[in-house]
Chains A and B, each alone.
Chain A
């Protein structure tokens, strides 16, 4: 996680433990068997401290902004522990919604006029081919239209396609394509009068190789159409017929056919007859035969095809051949070897999804159905969980300009300066002080308890001390309350042991301030800062980059009293409900400087 900009705070979603409880227990047992049996804490998951370097932790650590909140379970929900439901399909180009029945019948592509360039996949524009110098121009563009790529200049003229209308391109393209196919078939029928001549692999086996070559050079009998769809329909028809014919001679009697289906009443009565009635004479079923002629869907691979394409390939320059990606994007089985045969790709539809909690199926997020990107419901963890931020405390700096401003407003230049100082490497054995600010989004006073292992796990063993692990954070009341009326109350609460004035550390008099154990450094309307002391440990000589990155796992437990939720509200409006939440989060501090470098 070294690539993340410092400082960062990741929240550990508890789903990593609940979703797979069995493997964890098994792993622990196995582990404890190797360990002395006195180590019973291994069994209890709650007793273990969070190790941010474990491979499993990577799956559960998420920035607060990415988390949703389940209002029923009172827990954060990450992308892994939500259920997604497709609410609607829409085209990203024209933003039209497509009913899911249409998606099922016609596929997940836009059926209107949205196409992507087959060369570079950017959306195509549909332009009229008319001279802008024309004087008597009609109000609406007339005349032929072409599809053009604004990026790589591909146009439908490369395929020789001009459209009559600027709308409903899909239907026009399909018409042109079918027309071309039909044209090919007609040509083929004219050139191959011997199409009904049976030509099975067996026949080829009997004939000599010379004969086969001669056949390959002569007008091929399988020129009916080598189009995939055509072949498939012919083959399917043939096999359906075969099934009918073979089943007619089967034990179900002559009148049974596959079109009736095995669940039809007649079939059931026949089945009953077989078990209850007298034995009828069983006729031996006629074996199904394979396709023998091109009209039955037989397509024999001819070596001439290969030589044709090989000679074509050898004469075509490299840029004119298609890439694998271009071929993969082509519709259906159309995979042309040359760029000149590429067809425009209909735009893929996208989905709008609603998200539900996996545990209680509560809706966490639900997009609005209409053509916009708003949400009807979206419960963010950001609005329900305290936000923790770590910043270096620059107590030794003498210049007042670079002094940090405390508080959750992280956009000030002072904080940007601090972030720059965060990138400086940490020195082994030196005490670094940081401010851990907890901001409260709730409208209730939070009492927060922080806990962290005294030394970070692993070989480095950095010592971490939170000087004031228990404190309370004010409620997220109206900003104007503090500014207008409630000034004395807020002032008495804030800055314990700090002279009144601006909430900056760099004010004169504050410079000599020493962080005291058990005392809050500063607090405001809905935030409280406490000091964290970090003494980086010794990096081993063969330390990896990951080991050099210092991350502190902090266990956060919050308690607050809130109005009784939902149905109880009517019974006792004044009743307060006590809530308790706890989670692990990981604070990224910086990189420890290697003493061996």
Chain B
């Protein structure tokens, strides 16, 4: 959203807010990760980002309610929100002693507009655009949640499951039974990460 008029002035190109900026969350970021400067990292709990993770511009990592861990080689697209947003005031959260943590495994793809609320997502999962994973859900390895799909609160999704349609599930036998396909998928993902690393200017210094 760069206004040509604004950039032509001698003033700094970015508008700075008059309000004091929010305190940085305690971050532990691997130097091999790629984080765009307009990515939002906020909250009070620690945020851990492993090597080769790619956070697109305008992705939001919010650790206000609990720690967030992003695994190796994860890709988080724009407008995706990871970590619970609303302060949990319900009775069920009172019973949980530890803050709900959000953990993404290795090579997870979180597409545009996805909302991930305090849950665990296994290796090699693909969460398609505008899907929603509820609080306390557990998603296994190599799962897929299709666009606008929903995993309800506290639900458990087994390994190699495809969540599609209106709450339908099926076992992805191709991934389950063919190790070759899993390797292939990993290779494709790696290539994708490398592509994004070249395209997105990283600004880790802003957060560490």
Q: Which of A119, A131, A339 contacts B187 (CB 8 A)?
A: A131
Q: Is B170 touching A132 in the complex (CB atoms < 8 A)? A: no
Q: Which residues of B contact A129 (CB under 8 A)?
A: 180-181, 184
Q: Is A319 touching B183 in the complex (CB atoms < 8 A)? A: no
Q: Is A340 touching B173 in the complex (CB atoms < 8 A)? A: yes
Of all chain A residues, the one with the shortest Cβ separation from B181 is A157
Q: Is A131 touching B170 in the complex (CB atoms < 8 A)? A: no
Q: Is A153 touching B175 in the complex (CB atoms < 8 A)? A: yes
Taking the closest CB of chain B, its distance from the CB of A278, in whole angstroms, is 76
Taking the closest CB of chain A, its distance from the CB of B164, in whole angstroms, is 5
Q: Which residues of A contact B188 (CB under 8 A)?
A: 132
How many B residues touch the partner, as a band? 20 to 34
Of all chain A residues, the one with the shortest Cβ separation from B169 is A319
Q: Which residues of A contact B79 (CB under 8 A)?
A: none
Of all chain A residues, the one with the shortest Cβ separation from B143 is A153
Q: Which of B144, B177, B183 contacts A153 (CB 8 A)?
A: B144
Q: Which residues of A contact B184 (CB under 8 A)?
A: 129-131
Of all chain A residues, the one with the shortest Cβ separation from B192 is A132
Q: Does A27 contact B (CB under 8 A)?
A: no
Q: Which of B144, B165, B187 contacts A132 (CB 8 A)?
A: B187
Q: Is B173 touching A133 in the complex (CB atoms < 8 A)? A: no
Q: Which residues of B contact A158 (CB under 8 A)?
A: 173-174
Give the most central of A148, A153, A154, A339: most B CB within 10 Å: A153
Q: Does B190 contact A (CB under 8 A)?
A: yes
User: How many angstroms between the C-alpha atoms of A151 and B164 in the bound complex?
Assistant: 8
Q: Which residues of B contact A155 (CB under 8 A)?
A: 174, 181
Q: Which residues of B contact A148 (CB under 8 A)?
A: 174
- A-B contact number at CB 8 A: 47
Contact residues of A: prevailing secondary structure: loop
Q: Does A120 contact B (CB under 8 A)?
A: yes
Q: Which residues of B contact A320 (CB under 8 A)?
A: 171
Q: Which of B144, B146, B171, B187 contacts A133 (CB 8 A)?
A: B187
Q: List 19 A-B contacts (CB under 8 A).
A: A120-B164, A120-B165, A129-B181, A129-B184, A130-B184, A131-B187, A133-B190, A148-B174, A152-B170, A153-B144, A153-B162, A153-B172, A153-B174, A154-B170, A155-B174, A155-B181, A157-B174, A157-B177, A157-B181
Instruction: Give per-residue flags for A330-348: 1 if the beta carbon is below 8 A from chain B beta carbons, else 0.
Output: 0000000001100000000
Instruction: Give per-residue flags for B144-182: 1 if the beta carbon is below 8 A from chain A beta carbons, else 0.
Output: 101000000000000000101100111111110110110
Q: Which residues of B contact A153 (CB under 8 A)?
A: 144, 162, 172, 174-175
Of all chain B residues, the one with the shortest Cβ separation from A128 is B184
Q: Does B6 contact A (CB under 8 A)?
A: no
